[in-house]
Amino acid sequence: MENSEASVSSTATRTWHDFLERMRQPSATEFVKQIKNFIVSLSNNAPDPERDTASVQEFFSNMEASFRAHPLWAGRTEEELDSTGEGLEKYIMTKLFTRVFATHPDDIKTDNEFNRKSALIQQFIHPDHLEIQPIYRNETSWLQAQEELLKINTYKSPRDKLACILSCCKVISNSMFNASVSSNENPPGADDFFPVLIYVTIKANPPQFHSNLMYIQRYRNKSRLVGEAAYVFTNMLSAESFILNIDAKALSMNETEFVKNMESAQIVVSGLSGDYNGEHLQSQSGQSQSVSESKLKEVPSVSDLENKGASMLVMDEEGSEKFENFRYLYSKAGDLTVGEVEDLLNGYKQLVFKYACLAKGMGVPVVQPDAPGTQTSGETRDDGKKEGSGVAEPPPEIVIGGEMVDAPENDVQVEAVRVEGDRNDGVGASAHESPVTGEVASQTEENVEK
Amino acid sequence: MATIGHNNLNAKLVLLGDMGAGKSSLVLRFVKGQFLEFQESTIGAAFFSQTLAVNDATVKFEIWDTAGQERYHSLAPMYYRGAAAAIIVYDITSADSFTRAKKWVQELQKQGNANMVMALAGNKADLEEKRKVTAEEARVYAEENGLFFMETSAKTAANVNDVFHEIAKRLPRAQPTQNPAGMVLVDRPADGARAASCCMI
């Protein structure tokens, strides 16, 4: 596994250098001019996925035919020609990336939908829900597969992105194959493989997943999206489609159970404030209006959520104003009246109850605060205020904004990965190829400028 | 195409059928029994590429397995789109799996590629004592619907190669157009190597 991956990336790097080397040959000037003109001409029109796809694919196939007929490639093997074609795809698509990746409103909408749905479902999904057989359950290798899939945002070329999907699938199937051998079963077929792929995809929830898939589908050279790569890619599209359409039946749940799970997940994910689901739960618990207000203050106080919230508050210039509405926050004990103490105690009890429920819902231990109760409630309020002010939504949008606005090659990738960073620290570091892409691409650019 | 030296036909073949009907066992039995180029798959038994010699030509099957659970049914069109052939597998010891197989047939007739070669395979034929679906019933159904039918056993290998060979023989030759998503006609010997390298990225 490791070996094959290493060879994959070294092959890719060799392919890339080989392409650039050939484009520097004086006899390749004509090609360089054509490539440059193509990029300019495409960039002059308003983005249109369908038309852009057709132009790009046509350009790939025309250029490859020209390479084949050119003296520079005379006597070259099919593999060498193939490698030039790969280099061309990578060069063109790296240049067009910011223009064509995740720029269509429909794609962005589906990205957000997928992201939201996976974030909720990953809170409660269990291998049983997808009929994953017990012998094939291997959380360790599933985590590894998730990491492979999450690397998709560290690359810009369609081929490299596709390779992330392939390695994700390989990790899954290797582990399943080993499991089948040790339990004397036939090697796993699609009945076994596909549910695991869905599970891993939900857990990974890669940012801008739909856009990534559309990008591969549109801009991976069609003559190369064949064979096993086509099969694997179809599985990925199919898994995405399943996830986007997940309902109670898809997870063998009854409607009530599914709705309940989604609602609890929603609370965990966004630290729900006064929106529909919150009101709904509120009315069920039959508590008064003042409780509904106090609900704003509660949020899962898991340490990393806390840290995240704290740093966001620090960044927020109006952060201190957020505390002003909490009337007891700056009070001294001597200032409190008997009535207020009762009010505070009620608030405290509700807070502890919510904290315990949320911690349970997130699957983290309920920790006894070592500081006095009032301090705990104060801290929790901080987060609660922040989440209550609608911070839950922005993260995916920040990524999209980053991708679209900040053109600089590698920054974009880091930006995209950062969101998943806490779960997947290795990703940024293992983006071994991206710096090469940026650096050499600019070298070729110089040649193109000539 | 059908007349000159290297006649290589690439054909996508999709496997449909209930979970547990033995789709992947059937394919495994098939590829293991072959002597011609067998491309090691990187994703288990869900995808195989297997070349068969039929008369004066070779057919390179790309075999796509699909998840048979009911909950994944609606995703099947993504898999059978562009397929040149389909094997619809049921288990002769399960009447439900036969009902399911008939659903697949109807769906493919409505939505599949019109030239698709369809085979109905009644698998687990070695389990005669547990039989729930008679061969006669299935044969009549197959005839009425223009499919060919065989009872197979992945366990004893009975009829397994025959199903694939029969499909290979029935595939339309000299397709005038190239269907990018499905059957691709090629006559370049180097194509095998190229396809293999694509799978290795």
| CATH code, A31 | 1.10.246.120
Tell me the three-class secondary structure of A391-436, residue by residue.
Answer: HCCHHHHHHHHHHHHCCCHHHHHHHHHHCCCCCCCHHHHCCCCHHH
Residues written for chain A: 450
Q: Please name the residue of chain A whose CA is at the shortest distance from the CA of residue B21.
A: A191
Are B46 and A188 inside 8 Å of each other by CB? yes
* pLDDT: which is higher, B146 or A274: B146
Does residue A338 lie in a domain region? no
* Average pLDDT value for residue range A227-239: 97
Are B44 and A250 inside 8 Å of each other by CB? no
Are A162 and B201 inside 8 Å of each other by CB? yes
Are B44 and A224 inside 8 Å of each other by CB? no
User: Looking at the complex, does the CB of residue B194 fall below 8 Å from at least one CB of chain A?
Assistant: yes
Residue A214 neighbours by CB under 8 Å, 6+ apart:
A49, A104, A107
Does residue A66 lie in a domain region? yes
| A295 token code pair | 């609900």
**Averaged confidence pLDDT in chain B:** 84
* pLDDT: which is higher, B125 or A367: B125
Q: How many whole angstroms separate alpha carbon A63 and alpha carbon A90?
A: 13
* Residues A74 and A170 grouped into a single domain: no
* Residues A180 and A196 grouped into a single domain: yes
Of A83, A100, A117, which one is at a domain's C-terminal end? A100
**Domain assignment of residue A205, given as a range:** 105-269
How would residue A127 be classed by pLDDT, with cut points 50, 70 and 90? Answer: very high
* Residues A94 and A158 grouped into a single domain: no
* pLDDT: which is higher, A363 or A288: A363
Q: Please name the residue of chain B whose CA is at the shortest distance from the CA of residue A9.
A: B201
3-state secondary structure of B15: strand
Highest mean pLDDT among A217-226, A285-294, A419-428: A217-226
Q: Please name the residue of chain B whose CA is at the shortest distance from the CA of residue A236.
A: B78
Q: How many whole angstroms separate alpha carbon A213 and alpha carbon A229?
A: 13
- Work out the minimum CA distance from A411 to partner chain B, whole angstroms: 25
Are B45 and A78 inside 8 Å of each other by CB? no
C-alpha distances in angstroms, A117 versus A247, A263, A270?
Answer: 10, 12, 12
Residue A311's pLDDT is 66
CB atoms within 10 A of CB A311: 10
Residue B174's pLDDT is 53
Considering only CB atoms, A170 lies closest to which of B43, B62, B198, namely: B43
* Residues A257 and A150 grouped into a single domain: yes
Q: How many CB pairs under 8 A join A and B?
A: 124
What's the ipTM? 0.85
Kindly give the pairing relationship between strand B148-151 and strand B117-123: parallel
- Work out the minimum CA distance from A444 to partner chain B, whole angstroms: 24
Contact predicate B18/B90, CB 8 Å:
yes
Chain A residues in contact with B197 by the CB 8 A cut-off are 79, 82
| Residue B88 C-beta-side C-alpha neighbours within 13 Å | 28
* DSSP track, A297-314: T-----HHHHHHHHHHHH
CA A45 to mean position of chain CA atoms: 29
- Work out the minimum CA distance from A231 to partner chain B, whole angstroms: 7
What are phi and psi for residue A370, nearest 5 degrees? -85, -15
**Domain assignment of residue B49, given as a range:** 7-170
* Residues A154 and A240 grouped into a single domain: yes
**Averaged confidence pLDDT in chain A:** 75
CA B107 to mean position of chain CA atoms: 16
User: Looking at the complex, does the CB of residue B49 fall below 8 Å from at least one CB of chain A?
Assistant: yes
Considering only CB atoms, A238 lies closest to which of B62, B75, B197, namely: B75
User: Looking at the complex, does the CB of residue B51 fall below 8 Å from at least one CB of chain A?
Assistant: no
Q: Please give the tally of structural domains in chain A.
A: 2
* Residues A186 and A74 grouped into a single domain: no
Closest CA to A42 of A97, A84, A106: A97
